[in-house]
Amino acid sequence: MSWYYDAHVHLSDPLYDQDLSHIISGMEKIHLKACCVSMNPLDSQRTLAISRSSELVLPFIGIHPECAHDDLELVIEMIHQNHKSLSGIGEIGLDPTYCQDE
C-alpha cells in the first residue's frame, strides 16, 4: 500500500501532547506520514524529539515570521546540528505583517 503525506501539521503543539501516541498509531493504520513544521526554537526542539520517537513524523524546523523576534541564531544552529535528520525547513511563512506590498 502507498503512503500518504500530510504536508503541513504542527504535532509539536502542546494541545496534542495527551493524544500524540493515538495520533501516531492512527497515522500508521492509514499509512500517513506527517511533515511536522515548527514555528520557533521551542517548537523545533519538540518536533525533533517527536520525530525521534516515530519515523512517521518528518521533521521540518524553522521560524515563522510572527516569531521572528525569537532566537533565529539558535534555529540556524539547530539546522546545522541536525541536518542529517531533517526532512526540510519550515515553517518560514510569507506573512503580510512585514510586507504590505503585493
Residue spans of the domains in the chain: they are 4-89
Half-sphere exposure of 51 (CA within 13 A, CB side): 25
pLDDT tens digits, one per residue of 18-72:
999 999 999 999 999 999 999 999 999 999 999 999 999 999 999 888 887 778 8
Instruction: Give this prediction's pTM.
Output: 0.86
Alpha-carbon distance of 93 to 81, in angstroms, equals: 22
Degrees to nearest 5, angle at CA 93 with 5 and 21: 40
8 Å CB contact between 91 and 60: yes
Q: Is the pLDDT of residue 11 over 80?
A: yes
- Amino acid present at 16: Y
Residue 72 has a pLDDT of 84
Half-sphere exposure of 67 (CA within 13 A, CB side): 21
Confidence of residue 81 (pLDDT cuts 50, 70, 90): very high
